[in-house]
């Protein structure tokens, strides 16, 4: 059996269409979308409609909740601030009620038990927490704390961090603390040694690993003796022309409405680097915290100090004539 896992599309319809063409060639039995269909690139409505038309399994990510929670008691703090959240305001205005109802009914995670295969758990972050993601360089002990609390299956498909990886983490046997409740009947028990495998398909629409190609993963069922967890992973990277998506920031009005945040999303689409964390870390370090000072002023200071705008422009295919011809897909 073959599964295709795609995630973090973020409104990038040209990237999704390129991945769908590759899926047609690779012929998976099931396609699973691991959250964050919307936001960041201006084609969120088109992405939702395209995915709704497929017979795919879909879960929600944190960006679905930014949209669904807007204007409710669950809304993020400060969301009325157009300088900080203008991108979200634009999104709310451009998704239809029908598209919103589709997102509202999606599950937050999946437990999959296909016939004659090993089970796997799918969540945008981890079950119960869609913003808790992992990165390849993260120490095992940090990951184990989360997995012990939230994941019983051997294999977790996660997303959220926009970086492809396939890694195993281990936890040695350890003794739990004794229950100090004088009326408890539970004995102290040892945690058994455990091993988990976590796979991130990468991002279709906004990769952050330095490679601008649209990214996903194929899983082929194999014997657990051949691959721990019973699935063989093949990460795929698909070239596509980013220029229509980049042009749409201005022509759609998103860039004007979203200000600094839309600019940073644009930069991430150009560089495949973590432009948003770069800015916020610089701002905090230089006492220009955008949560406490004017967002646009802090960003202007960042650009003046770092020249990051020139770094991005040198890599922008709208200005350097790139992507006239894109290479063949990569399998890694």
pLDDT tens for 123-133 read 999 999 999 99
- pLDDT surpasses 60 at 190: no
d(CA 68, CA 104): 7
Q: For 204-244, how does the pLDDT look when each residue is reduced to its tens digit (9 = 90+)?
A: 999 999 999 999 999 999 999 999 999 999 999 999 999 99
Least confidently predicted of 69-83, 130-144, 195-209: 69-83
**pTM to 2 decimals?**
0.91
The first and second tokens of residue 30, run together, are 């099931």
Alpha helices by DSSP H, the chain: 13-26, 44-52, 62-69, 82-94, 97-104, 140-150, 243-251, 254-271, 275-285, 295-306, 308-315, 317-320
- pLDDT surpasses 80 at 191: no
Q: Are the CB atoms for 120 and 157 separated by under 8 Å?
A: yes
Determine the pLDDT at residue 332. Answer: 45
Q: Are the CB atoms for 42 and 16 separated by under 8 Å?
A: no
Determine the pLDDT at residue 109. Answer: 97
CB count in 10 Å sphere of residue 179: 13
Percentage of residues in the chain having pLDDT higher than 70: 90
Parallel/antiparallel/unpaired status of strands 155-157 and 109-112: unpaired
Q: Which residues contact 183 (CB under 8 A, 6 or more apart)?
A: none
In the chain, the domains with their CATH numbers are 2-172+193-238 (3.60.21.10), 251-320 (no CATH)
- Rounded to 5°, the CA angle 203-244-3 comes to 30
Q: Of 1, 8, 132, which is closest to residue 58 (Cα–Cα)?
A: 8
């Amino acid at each position: 059996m073959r599964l295709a896992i795609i995630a973090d599309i973020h409104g990038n319809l040209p990237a999704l269409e390129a991945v769908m063409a590759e899926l047609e060639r690779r012929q998976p039995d099931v396609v699973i979308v691991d959250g964050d269909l919307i936001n960041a690139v201006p084609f969120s409505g088109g992405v939702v409609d395209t995915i709704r038309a497929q017979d795919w399994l879909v879960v929600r990510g944190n960006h679905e909740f930014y949209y669904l929670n807007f204007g409710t008691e669950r809304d993020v703090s400060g969301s009325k601030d157009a300088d900080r959240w203008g991108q979200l305001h634009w999104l709310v205005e451009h998704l239809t009620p029908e598209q919103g109802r589709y997102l509202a009914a999606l599950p937050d995670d999946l437990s999959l038990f296909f016939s004659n295969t090993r089970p796997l758990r799918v969540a945008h972050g981890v079950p119960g927490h869609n913003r808790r993601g992992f990165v390849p360089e993260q120490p095992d002990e940090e990951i184990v704390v989360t997995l012990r609390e939230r994941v019983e299956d051997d294999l977790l498909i996660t997303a959220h961090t926009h970086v492809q990886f396939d890694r195993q983490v281990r936890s040695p046997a350890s003794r739990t603390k004794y229950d100090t409740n004088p009326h408890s009947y539970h004995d102290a028990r040892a945690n058994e040694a455990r091993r988990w495998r976590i796979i991130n398909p990468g991002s279709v629409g906004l990769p952050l690993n330095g490679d601008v190609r649209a990214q996903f993963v194929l899983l082929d069922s194999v014997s657990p003796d051949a691959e721990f967890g019973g699935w063989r992973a093949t990460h795929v990277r698909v070239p596509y022309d980013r220029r229509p998506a980049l042009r749409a920031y201005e022509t759609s009005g998103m860039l004007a409405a979203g200000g600094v945040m839309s600019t940073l999303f644009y930069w991430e689409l150009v560089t495949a680097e973590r432009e948003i964390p770069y800015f916020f870390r610089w701002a905090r370090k230089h006492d220009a915290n955008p949560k406490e000072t004017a967002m646009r002023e802090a960003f202007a200071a960042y650009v003046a100090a770092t020249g990051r705008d020139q770094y991005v422009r040198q890599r922008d295919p709208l200005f350097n004539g790139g992507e006239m011809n894109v290479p063949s897909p990569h399998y890694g």
